[in-house]
A and B are shown apart, each in its own frame.
Chain A
Amino acid sequence: MLGNARRGFCGTVHAIEAQDVTSTLHPTELESRLIELGFVEGARIEVLHEGIIGRDPIAVRVDNNTVAVRRREAMAVVLG
C-alpha cells in the first residue's frame, strides 16, 4: 500500500482498492480522484518527500507528475 511506503520507495501501481480505506470520501469518489491524479494500474511510483508530523502527507511521483496525498487516502493505492 502506498499509504505505508517510505521515502525513496519505487514501484508501480497494482490496483486501486478504496473499499476499506477510512477516508471521509466515498470509496468510489476516492477511486475516481486517484485515477484523475494519474494513479492507474501500471503507473510508475516514487515516494519523494514526507511531511514533518507523522511522515504525512507524502509527495509522490506518478509517471510524469508529482502529487501530494495524505497517507490515509494513499492506503487505497495497492502497489505491485
Chain B
Amino acid sequence: MSSVVELQSLRLALVGTPNCGKTSLFNALTGSRQRVANYPGVTVERKSGTFTTPAGRNVTLIDLPGTYSLRGRSPDEDITRDMVLGRFPNEAPPDLVLCVADSTNLRLTFRLLLELKQTRRPLLLVLNMFDIATRRGVQVDLERLSAELGVPVVTSIAVRKGGTEALLQRTDELVAQHVSAEVENNWKPMTVAELRALQREADRIIAACISLPARPETLTSRIDQVVLHPVAGLLVLVLILFLMFQAVFSWAQPVMELFSDSFAALGQVVHDNLPDGLLQSFLQNGVISGVGSVVVFLPQIVLIFLFILLLEDFGYMARAAFLMDRIMGGAGLHGRAFIPLLSSFACAIPGIMATRVIDNRRDRLTTILIAPLMTCSARIPVYTLIISAFVPAKQIWGWVSLQGLVMFGLYAAGILSALAVSFVIKLTMWRDYEPAPFMLELPDYKLPRLRSVAIGVYTRAKMFLQRAGTTIFSMMVLIWFLASFPRPPAGATEPDINYSLASMIGHALEPLLAPLGFNWQIAVALIPGMAAREVAIAALGTVYAIEGGKEAAEQIGQVLASKWSLATALSILAWYIFAPQCASTLAVIRRETGSWRWVAVSFTYMMTLAYFASMATYQIARGLGAG
C-alpha cells in the first residue's frame, strides 16, 4: 500500500443517542476547528470539524444529530440516517461511524448500535465518560463486549487530556483495514418486533459483559426530589430564570456600554478627521454605527448561550421542559420552547438562535415566529421615553406607580399576544400536523465541562458575528442610504433627512398611517428604526430638529409631549409591541429557518397586528377624549 493511500483524508461521523456526550467528544477531538452550516433545504445544523490522527491522517468529523434509531422521525434524524447510509447526493458515506455511548447508561445506545450494525458500515463503539462509570463501580469486560457485539470497542474520556488517545489510535488501525469499504447495504426501517428483539439482545449483552454496581447512583434522584417537585421545582426554575435575567440585563450592561461608547468614539474620530460629506456620513452613520449596533448585543448573546449550554450540560434543560410542558402546552407550545422565549426578553436574536434545542421543526418554527413578540431590551428606551413624556408620574392605590404599571402592561401585552398567536398557529397553519409528544430521557446530572462549554459559546458568538453580521450590515447600509439620499439642496434649512428618500417614503406612508395617529415625522423615524428599535428615538430627534447633547433624550420627551396627542403616544406604544421593527431579527429568522418565506410570514403577521393594534388604540383613545 502506498503512503499516499495511507494518508488520504478521512470522513468520520459521530452517532449516538441524545445526552451521550457526543458533543463534548466532538469538542475534545476538533477543539475550535469547527464549522457550523445548514444542510441544504432543511433547518438542521450541520456541524463538522477537523483533526489529525497520530498517523498523520487528516480527518473531517461530522457531528450527526442525536437519535435513538435510524427510522428518522424528524428532519434531524433523517439527516443521521441518510448520512450513515450514504444517501446524500454529492457526499460519500463516512469512512467510519463512531457510535458514542454514555458508559453509565448503555442500554439504549446498545440497541442503536445493533441497528447501526445492520447498515454494514464500518463501526467503532466509543464508551465515553468511562471515568464516571468506573467511579460508580461499573465494570466492563471490553474483549467479551467487542466479541458479543461484533464491533470494535474503545473507551474514552472526552473531557480529559489524553482521554481520546485510544480512540485516535484505533481509528488509524481500523481505517487501514477498511480502506475501500464500499459495502452495499439493504437497510430497512425496523418493525416493532425487530426493535423488541434488538432491545432484548442489547439487554442480554449488557448482562453478559457488564457488571453494574449494587447500589445505583443516588445523587441525581436526590437532586430531582427538589428540582422536579411540582412546587419546589418551579421555584428553582424561577430562581434560575431570575439569575439569567440579572446576568443579561445587569452584568452585560457595562460591557455593552463599553462597546457602544467605543463605537460612538470611533465614529467621532471619523467625524473629526474627515471633511463633512458623504464619506464621513457613510463611515460614521452607515458602517460604524451599523456594525456597532450589532456588536453591542454580543455580551448578551455570549451570556445567554453560556447559561443555556451550562444548563444543557448539567442535564437541567430536560427538567425545565418537564416542568413547563403542560403549562406551555395549553398555548400549543412545546416544553422546550421555554428557554428560547425567555432569552427573547433580552433580544430576539439569541432567543431565535436558542430554538435549536427544539428538535421538532414545526414546534421550532412556531417558537421562532412568536419570539419577537417578547419585549426585548431594545424596546425599553422607546417605552421609557414615551411613558415618561406622557404618563403622569403618580401613584395609584397609594403604592403602585402608574408609569411602572404601564410598563408592566406592555410586557404583559407582549406575552399574551405571543401565546395567542401560537394558539392561532396551532389552529390554522399546522392543522394536519401531529404535535410532538413529550417523550424524553432525563439524563443523570453531570458537572458541565468548562472547555466544552467555552468552545460552544465561542462557536455561537462567531456564527452570530459572521452570518447575522453580514446580512445586518447590508441592511444598515441600505437604511443609511435611504436616510441620506438625495442630498439636501444648497442653502437647505431643514435637517438633511427631510430631503431624503426616507422622508419621501414617510410622506408617502402618511395617509396610510394617519388612522394610527402617526404624522410623517413618525413615519420617517420608523425607517431608521428598522435598523434597531432604539434608533427611532435619535431619528425623531433629528426630524424634529433638536440639537443633540447630553440632555437630548429629555428634550425629545418634552418636544414630543408638546407635539403629539396622548392618543398618538399610546398608538406608538401599541405599534412597538408588535411591529417587526428590527432588521437584525428578520436576518436571523432568515438564517435560522433557511428561507425567506418565514421572514415574509413573520413580517406580514407582525405588521398586520401592529397596524390594527395601533389603529384600535388610537381610535379608542381619541373616542375617550385623548386625541
Chain A contacts to B: CB under 8 angstroms: 23-25, 28-38, 40-41, 48-54, 56-57, 59, 63-70, 72-73
Interface: B462 (CB within 8 A): no
Give every chain A residue within 8 A of B71 (Cβ-Cβ): 32
Contact present for B323 and A51 (CB under 8 Å): yes
Contact present for A67 and B73 (CB under 8 Å): no
Contact present for A32 and B326 (CB under 8 Å): no
Give every chain B residue within 8 A of A29 (Cβ-Cβ): 73
In-complex Cβ contact of B69 among A32, A49, A57 (8 A): A32
In the complex, A71→B443 CA distance in Å? Answer: 20
In the assembled complex, the CB of B72 is this many whole angstroms from the nearest CB of chain A, namely 11
In-complex Cβ contact of B68 among A37, A50, A52 (8 A): A37
List 5 A-B residue pairs with CB atoms under 8 Å apart, sorted by A's residue number: A36-B69, A51-B230, A65-B108, A66-B443, A67-B439
Give every chain B residue within 8 A of A69 (Cβ-Cβ): 437-439
Give every chain A residue within 8 A of B196 (Cβ-Cβ): 35, 40-41
Nearest A residue to B212, CB-CB: A64
Contact present for A65 and B437 (CB under 8 Å): no
Give every chain A residue within 8 A of B190 (Cβ-Cβ): 32
Given A35-B199, A37-B108, A68-B439, CB of A59 within 8 Å of CB of B322: yes
Contact present for A38 and B228 (CB under 8 Å): no
Contact present for B434 and A59 (CB under 8 Å): no
Give every chain A residue within 8 A of B625 (Cβ-Cβ): none
In the complex, A8→B471 CA distance in Å? Answer: 54
Given A32-B71, A51-B322, CB of A57 within 8 Å of CB of B438: yes
Contact present for A48 and B228 (CB under 8 Å): yes
In the complex, A24→B441 CA distance in Å? Answer: 20
Given A23-B437, A64-B212, CB of A52 within 8 Å of CB of B69: no
Give every chain A residue within 8 A of B394 (Cβ-Cβ): none
In the complex, A25→B437 CA distance in Å? Answer: 8
Interface: B401 (CB within 8 A): no
Contact present for A37 and B195 (CB under 8 Å): no
Contact present for B230 and A32 (CB under 8 Å): no
Chain B contacts to A: CB under 8 angstroms: 68-69, 71, 73, 105, 107-108, 111, 190, 192, 195-196, 199-200, 203, 212, 216, 220-221, 224, 228-231, 234, 318, 321-323, 325-327, 434-435, 437-444
In the complex, A34→B108 CA distance in Å? Answer: 11
Give every chain B residue within 8 A of A28 (Cβ-Cβ): 192
Nearest A residue to B327, CB-CB: A53
Binding site secondary structure of chain A: mixed
In the assembled complex, the CB of A45 is this many whole angstroms from the nearest CB of chain B, namely 14
Give every chain A residue within 8 A of B229 (Cβ-Cβ): 49
Give every chain A residue within 8 A of B69 (Cβ-Cβ): 32, 36
In-complex Cβ contact of B326 among A33, A49, A51, A66 (8 A): A51
In the complex, A25→B105 CA distance in Å? Answer: 27
Give every chain B residue within 8 A of A72 (Cβ-Cβ): 437
In the complex, A49→B224 CA distance in Å? Answer: 9
6 A-B pairs with the lowest CB-CB distances in the bound complex, closest first = A52-B230, A24-B434, A36-B68, A49-B228, A53-B326, A66-B442
In the complex, A47→B293 CA distance in Å? Answer: 50
Q: Knowing that A32-B195, A36-B195, A70-B439 are A-B contacts, what are 9 other residue pairs whose CB atoms are under 8 Å apart, sorted by A's residue number?
A: A35-B192, A35-B195, A48-B228, A49-B322, A51-B323, A52-B327, A64-B105, A70-B438, A73-B438
Contact present for A24 and B440 (CB under 8 Å): no
Given A32-B192, A35-B195, CB of A65 within 8 Å of CB of B228: no
Contact present for A33 and B224 (CB under 8 Å): no
In-complex Cβ contact of A63 among B107, B220, B443 (8 A): B107
In the assembled complex, the CB of A13 is this many whole angstroms from the nearest CB of chain B, namely 11
Contact present for A66 and B216 (CB under 8 Å): no
In the complex, A30→B105 CA distance in Å? Answer: 23
In the complex, A49→B196 CA distance in Å? Answer: 27
In the complex, A44→B69 CA distance in Å? Answer: 22
Give every chain B residue within 8 A of A34 (Cβ-Cβ): 439
Nearest B residue to A23, CB-CB: B437
Give every chain B residue within 8 A of A52 (Cβ-Cβ): 230-231, 234, 323, 326-327
In-complex Cβ contact of A67 among B224, B228, B231, B440 (8 A): B440
In the assembled complex, the CB of B494 is this many whole angstroms from the nearest CB of chain A, namely 59
Give every chain A residue within 8 A of B105 (Cβ-Cβ): 64-65
In the assembled complex, the CB of B293 is this many whole angstroms from the nearest CB of chain A, namely 41
Give every chain B residue within 8 A of A23 (Cβ-Cβ): 437
Give every chain B residue within 8 A of A59 (Cβ-Cβ): 224, 228, 322, 442
Contact present for A40 and B68 (CB under 8 Å): no
Give every chain B residue within 8 A of A51 (Cβ-Cβ): 230, 322-323, 325-326
Give every chain B residue within 8 A of A56 (Cβ-Cβ): 326
Given A49-B224, A52-B230, A53-B326, CB of A73 within 8 Å of CB of B437: yes
Give every chain B residue within 8 A of A63 (Cβ-Cβ): 107
Give every chain A residue within 8 A of B108 (Cβ-Cβ): 36-38, 65
Give every chain B residue within 8 A of A66 (Cβ-Cβ): 220, 224, 441-444
In-complex Cβ contact of B437 among A24, A31, A40, A50 (8 A): A24
Give every chain B residue within 8 A of A41 (Cβ-Cβ): 196
Give every chain A residue within 8 A of B68 (Cβ-Cβ): 33, 36-37
In the assembled complex, the CB of A63 is this many whole angstroms from the nearest CB of chain B, namely 6
In the complex, A69→B230 CA distance in Å? Answer: 15
Give every chain A residue within 8 A of B192 (Cβ-Cβ): 28, 31-32, 35
Give every chain B residue within 8 A of A48 (Cβ-Cβ): 221, 224, 228
